Structure formats: structure tokens, C-alpha cells
Amino acid sequence: MMPPKPTVVGVPKETYPGETLVALTPAHVPMLTKIGLHVLVESGAGEAAGFEDEAFRAMGAQVASDRAELFGSAEILLQVRTLGANFDRGRDDLPLLRADHVLIGLTDPLGRPEAARELAHLGVTVFAMELMPRLARAQSMDVLSSLATIVGYKAVLLAAASLPKLFPMLTTAAGTIPPARVLVIGAGVAGLQAIATARRLGAAVSAYDVRPAVKDQIQSLGAKAVEVLAEVGEAEETGGYAKTLGEAIYRRQRELLTPIVTASDVVVTTAAVPGQRAPMLITADMVARMARGSVIVDVAADRGGNCELTRQNEAVVHQGVTVLGPTNLPSTVPMHASQMYGRNLANFLLYLCKDGFLRVDMADEITRETLVTRGGAVVHPRIGALLRATHHDVAEEGNA
């Protein structure tokens, strides 16, 4: 009897404008080939991240000269951004997709549920990496943590590069320079990395989060924790994410934060609630009260921003204060971002595969939580509900 044909894992070149990451790096190829998978990489896929075709070949991958060949040969596609997270350019790949394709990558299922519906109509199976549950055993597959780590680090470097002051305290023959005062709002993965980076640069750091549980983590990094408002109550959902709190609470938060923002040289804002607009915590009036030359880096810019003045990918200068709204900061560190992202994806694929073949086991929590479409339907209850709530035609998803 002929042995079954090995499963081909394809790595297409990313097409989202400005995206420099690749979903798998050469170092991850042996992890997959060891369990019997074949890896096929589109020529040039790793180039922007510093990984040449030759490096993939040297580690046992094959290189496809064009995209149609890659999609034609592969059954599993590892991507940084599938359609939902690449809504315009991702459309170019729709004619290449088949019902037996499995897509694994970022899909923005909460922000763009309609993309999941489109892919379901093609019969494609989609796993959304954003939906990885926050379980200890899922940590090695959590791409959001990997990307947020880079965002927090890079946000502080941007602030340091824009600030007309030094970060560390310096005692020199030319006098003593006090440390920069940095406030980090939102102490999740990105915020904690921002605190750590600002501390390494010698700044005096304080941090604020709506979840009281993070106070110890803030302090263990050498930062001062800003007291949480008593009236916020239970601010945490299961899984460690924050809840939406309502405008009245956000107003009180802005009051609490005003004197601290005003006294800061740098504010890095990372506050977010999954699937919701980011809370607006810094008004234009608060910005105007900061000293000239101060800098705000709002990394919640792609979710509406934490600052009223934020504009995506722009530097807004208001009364001498610079407000930066960078999006896709991981793309500015593509080599390590791809290394971390690719490792998460390779771990996930190994987790899903048994004997060299992908098995969808709906009894498994990690599979159930990340699987968005299968067998022609949106099977994730939360995404199905979102589609129904936003008046999309989801008759066929009713069983989800």
C-alpha cells in the first residue's frame, strides 16, 4: 500500500501594505519536517524580515516561485495576516483558495467578522490566532503576547527618540540631569514591556491599569503603581482581559489621571478591551496641560486610540506636545517579530497535528476557541453571534 501523501504547509509572502513579517522562519522548518510535514515557502516571503530563500532551503523547505503554485500545492497556509487582517489585498488570494485549505494566522475575527463569513463560504477552515485562550498551556502559541512585547519595547524607543530630553538621570561635570518621568497606561503585555524598557533606559516610571491584579507586576519592574479607582469594581473578565467600563467610569479615570499625565514627560498608552474601541483616557485638554516637548505614544491607535488627538501613523503636535499613533510596530522589528510569531505558529501546528496530519478535535478547548470556520460555516459561537448582531446574513451560521 502507498503511504499517504505528506501534508504540505505553505508560507505565502505577506501582502498587507508595510507588512515585513513572515509567518515562519528557517529555524522553525525542522520542527515541522520532523513530524512529517513538508514546508513550501513562496519565493521572497522572508526577505523583508532578513530570511532569504536559500536559508529556508538549507533548513529543508522547498521554495515556490509563484503564489498560485504555493496555494495549489499547500493544504495548510501559515500567514501573518489572513483576509480579516488584510481586508483589501487579502482579497487577491480568494480565487486561489480551496475548500480543503486550512488558514492559520491573524484574522481580526472580532473586528472583521464578515471576512470569516466570506472564507466560510469558500469552505476554508480558519484558525484565528487572536482567539488563543489565555491558558498557561497555550502561552507558547500566543502570538498576541509576542507582538505586544515588541510593541511595548518599540513604543518606548520612539518616545525616547522624540523627547527633547534624556531618559536616564545623569550626574555630569555639566550639571545633573533628572530622569525622564514616564507614565504607562495599561499594564498588560505591551505595557509591562514598556515599563521594563523605560526602566532600562533609566526613566522614573509610573503605571496605571484598571485591573488591580497587575499592581504587583508593575512594582516588581521598579515602577510606581497609580492607585485604581474604587468605583471601577470588578474590571477583569475571565482570561485576564479588561472589561468595557462605561463612559462614567472613563470620565473618572481621566480625572484621576490628569495630574499624573500633566506631570509626565512621556505617556505610553496601551489600554485595550478585546473587540471594542479602545477607552479614551487622555483628552486634548489634558495634552495641552503637559509641558512643551512632552511625548505621547498611543499604541492603541489601531483600535481608535487612548488619546483624543491620536491619528494613525501620524505625529500630531498640539501646543508643543507630540502625539504619535504608530500601528504595526512589530513590522519595524521584523526579524525577531517573525522569530517569535513563527515559533508560536509552529507550536500551534504541532499541537494540532497527530501523526503528521492535522486533526480538528472539537473536544479540545484550544482548538474550539481558535477555530472560526469549518465545513462551510462560521463555527465559533462568538463570531457567529457578532455577525448576527451586526445584521449580516448568517442563516447558514445559525447552527454555530
Output the CA torsion 325→326→327→328 (10° steps).
Answer: -170
Q: Shortest distance, CB of residue 70 to ligand NAD, whole angstroms?
A: 31
User: Between 52 and 236, whose beta carbon lies closer to ligand NAD?
Assistant: 236
Alpha-carbon span 168 to 179, nearest angstrom: 5
Do 386 and 400 contact (CB within 8 A), yes or no? no
Active site residue 139: yes
Q: Shortest distance, CB of residue 270 to ligand NAD, whole angstroms?
A: 5
Cell of 50: 532578513
Q: Shortest distance, CB of residue 225 to ligand NAD, whole angstroms?
A: 12
Provide the binding-site residues for ligand NAD, judged by CB under 6 A: 134-136, 138-139, 142, 144-145, 148, 185-191, 208-211, 240-242, 245, 253, 270-274, 279, 281
Active site residue 62: no
User: Between 155 and 189, whose beta carbon lies closer to ligand NAD?
Assistant: 189
Q: Shortest distance, CB of residue 181 to ligand NAD, whole angstroms?
A: 18
Helix (H, G, I), strand (E, B) or coil at 218: helix
User: Between 29 and 85, whose beta carbon lies closer to ligand NAD?
Assistant: 85
65, 73, 139, 220: the active-site residue: 139
Active site residue 361: no
Q: Shortest distance, CB of residue 150 to ligand NAD, whole angstroms?
A: 12
C-beta nearest to ligand NAD: residue = 188
Q: What is the largest CA-CA distance in the chain?
A: 82
- Number of other CB atoms surrounding residue 18 within 10 Å: 11
User: Between 271 and 337, whose beta carbon lies closer to ligand NAD?
Assistant: 271
Name beta bridge partners: 182. Answer: 205, 266
Closest CA to 283 of 308, 257, 259: 308
Name beta bridge partners: 176. Answer: 171
Active site residue 368: no
Alpha-carbon span 81 to 119, nearest angstrom: 13
The CA R_g of the chain, rounded to the nearest whole Å, is: 23
Alpha-carbon span 101 to 269, nearest angstrom: 38
Alpha-carbon span 55 to 5, nearest angstrom: 25
Alpha-carbon span 93 to 71, nearest angstrom: 9
53, 93, 108, 142: the active-site residue: 142
User: Between 41 and 189, whose beta carbon lies closer to ligand NAD?
Assistant: 189
- How far is Cα of residue 66 from the mean position of the Cα atoms in its chain? 28
Q: Shortest distance, CB of residue 258 to ligand NAD, whole angstroms?
A: 14
Active site residue 162: no
User: Between 29 and 346, whose beta carbon lies closer to ligand NAD?
Assistant: 346
The residues that are catalytic are 134, 139, 142, 145, 241
